[in-house]
C-alpha cells in the first residue's frame, strides 16, 4: 500500500457571540493552523473521516484496489498526538452504512474555534483537547463531530467526549461512531509492499516505523526490546508476553526502495540487553528524536540509529553513528 504524506496538519449547544481572537484561541486549534491552511488548498472527495490530533492531522481515505483497498491514513506535522496507528488499513464500521466523503471545506480555523469552545463549555473541563474527529454520515449535510479531551487528566466531574453536529450544536452521543475506527484483521489483508521510493530509515525514522508496524505481528501490549534503523535496513525486535520468544519485523533498504517487510523469530544477541518499551513509548521516542537539532544535523550522514538498552544504561537511549566524518554519540529516548 502506498503511503500518502501531505502537509495538511468537533461543536456545542452554546452559540458564540463573536469569533475568538488569536489571544483567546485554544492551543489545540493554534497548533493546527499551518496544516489547516494547506488542508483548504487541497480539497478531496475521498476522505471519509478527518481526525485532528495535537499538532498533526490524520485522515482516513480510500485506497485503490491495486494498492490494497480499504481505508488508510494521511498525516500532517509532528507525530506527537496520541494513539492513532499509521500504516496498514482500517475497516469502515457497518453501522455507518456506505462510506461518505467529509465536506472538507467545512473545517476552517473559525469552525474549529466554535467547535472546541462549545465542546469545552459542555464538558466543564479545562484539560487539553486530545482529538477532534469529523465523520460523514448518511443523509444530506450530515456530519458527526466528536471532541475528545485528555481523559487521563480529566476532572472526574467533566465530560471526556462531546458529540456535536456540523452546525456546532451539542447532541447526544452517537453510538454508531467509534472513538477510533477498528484496524483490519491480519487475515483480511495480506502485507502490502511498501512505498516505491522512501528515505533511508536513519533519515526518516517515522516512515520506517510505520512500515515496520504495518507488517509486524506484535500485539498492542507487546514489549519492544530494540529498534534498529540504519542506512540499509530497519528492524524492530519485540515479544508478545514476558515469557514469549523474541520476534523481529524487518525490511531492507536499497536504491531508495524498501523491500517488503518480514516478521519471524529472532535470536537476540546474548551480549545485548533487552529493553522493556511499549509500542506507544517507542513511537513517541521516534517522534521526539526527529525534532532534536543534534539528530537533524547528522541525519543525512547516519549509518546507524539504534534505540537500545545496555548493562551500564538499562534505560532506553538512542545511539547514533555517522560517517564522513565518523562520529557517534547518544541522545535521550524521552
Q: What is the DSSP secondary structure assignment for residue 44, as one 8-state letter?
A: -
The whole-angstrom separation of Cα 211 and Cα 1 is 10
pTM: 0.52
Using CA of residue 284, residue 287, residue 289, residue 292, what is the dihedral sign? negative
Residues in the chain: 334
**Beta carbons of 303 and 230 less than 8 angstroms apart:** yes
**Residues 184, 70: contact at Cβ < 8 Å?**
yes
Yes or no: say if 138 and 96 are a contact pair by the CB < 8 Å rule: yes
Directed axis angle between helix 27-41 and helix 109-123, to 10°? 150
Taking the CB of residue 217, how many other CB atoms lie within 10 A of it?
12
Q: Helix or strand or coil: residue 65?
A: helix
* Count of helices and strands (H, E) across the chain: 5, 16
Question: In the chain, where does DSSP find H-type helix?
Answer: 27-41, 109-123, 205-215, 279-289, 293-298
SS3 state at 119:
helix
The burial class, CB within 10 Å (0-12 / 13-18 / 19+), for 284 is middle
Q: pLDDT tens digits for the chain (334 residues)?
A: 323 222 222 222 223 333 445 457 888 898 888 778 766 666 666 788 888 886 677 788 887 766 667 787 777 754 444 455 555 578 888 888 888 888 888 889 999 999 999 999 998 888 888 889 999 988 777 899 999 887 644 444 556 889 999 989 999 989 888 888 887 764 344 444 344 456 889 888 988 998 898 889 998 889 999 999 998 999 999 999 878 899 999 999 887 778 888 999 999 988 889 999 999 999 999 988 988 888 888 888 899 999 999 888 889 999 999 888 888 899 988 7
Cα gap 217→250, rounded to integer Å:
12
Cα dihedral 103→108→114→118 (10° resolution) = 60
Q: Return the DSSP state at 309.
A: B
Please give the Cα distance from 328 to 320 (Å, whole number).
Answer: 5
Residue that the C-alpha cell 538498552 belongs to: 309
Q: Which triple of cell numbers denotes residue 251? A: 525490511
Amino acid at each position: 500500500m502506498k503511503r500518502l504524506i501531505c502537509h495538511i496538519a468537533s461543536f456545542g449547544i452554546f452559540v458564540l457571540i463573536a469569533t475568538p481572537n488569536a489571544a483567546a484561541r485554544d492551543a489545540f486549534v493554534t497548533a493546527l493552523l499551518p496544516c489547516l491552511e494547506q488542508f483548504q488548498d487541497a480539497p478531496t472527495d475521498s476522505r471519509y473521516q478527518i481526525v485532528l490530533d495535537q499538532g498533526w492531522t490524520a485522515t482516513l481515505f480510500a485506497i485503490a484496489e491495486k494498492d490494497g483497498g480499504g481505508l488508510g491514513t494521511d498525516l500532517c506535522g509532528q507525530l506527537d498526538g496520541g494513539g492513532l496507528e499509521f500504516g496498514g488499513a482500517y475497516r469502515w464500521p457497518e453501522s455507518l452504512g456506505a462510506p461518505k466523503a467529509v465536506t472538507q471545506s467545512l473545517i476552517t480555523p473559525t469552525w474549529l474555534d466554535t467547535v472546541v469552545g462549545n465542546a469545552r463549555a459542555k464538558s466543564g473541563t479545562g484539560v487539553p483537547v486530545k482529538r477532534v474527529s469529523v465523520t460523514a454520515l448518511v443523509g444530506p449535510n450530515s456530519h458527526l463531530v466528536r471532541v475528545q479531551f485528555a481523559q487521563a487528566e480529566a476532572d472526574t466531574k467533566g465530560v471526556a467526549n462531546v458529540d456535536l453536529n456540523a452546525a456546532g450544536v451539542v447532541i447526544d452521543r452517537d453510538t454508531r461512531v467509534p472513538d477510533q475506527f477498528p484496524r483490519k484483521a491480519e487475515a483480511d489483508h495480506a502485507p502490502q509492499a511498501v512505498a516505491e521510493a522512501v528515505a533511508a530509515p536513519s533519515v526518516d525514522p517515522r516512515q520506517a516505523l510505520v512500515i515496520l508496524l504495518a507488517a509486524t505481528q506484535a500485539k498492542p501490549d507487546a514489549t519492544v526490546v530494540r529498534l534498529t534503523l540504519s542506512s540499509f535496513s530497519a528492524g524492530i525486535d519485540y515479544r508478545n508476553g514476558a515469557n514469549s520468544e523474541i520476534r523481529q519485523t524487518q525490511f531492507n533498504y536499497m536504491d531508495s526502495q524498501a523491500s517488503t517487510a518480514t516478521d519471524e523469530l529472532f535470536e537476540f544477541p546474548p551480549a545485548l540487553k533487552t529493553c522493556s518499551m511499549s509500542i506507544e513509548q517507542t513511537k513517541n521516542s521516534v517522534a521526539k528524536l526527529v525534532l532534536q537539532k543534534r539528530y537533524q544535523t547528522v541525519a543525512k550522514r547516519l549509518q546507524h540509529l539504534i534505540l537500545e538498552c545496555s548493562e551500564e544504561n538499562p534505560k532506553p537511549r538512542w545511539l547514533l553513528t555517522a560517517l564522513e566524518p565518523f562520529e557517534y554519540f547518544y541522545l535521550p529516548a524521552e
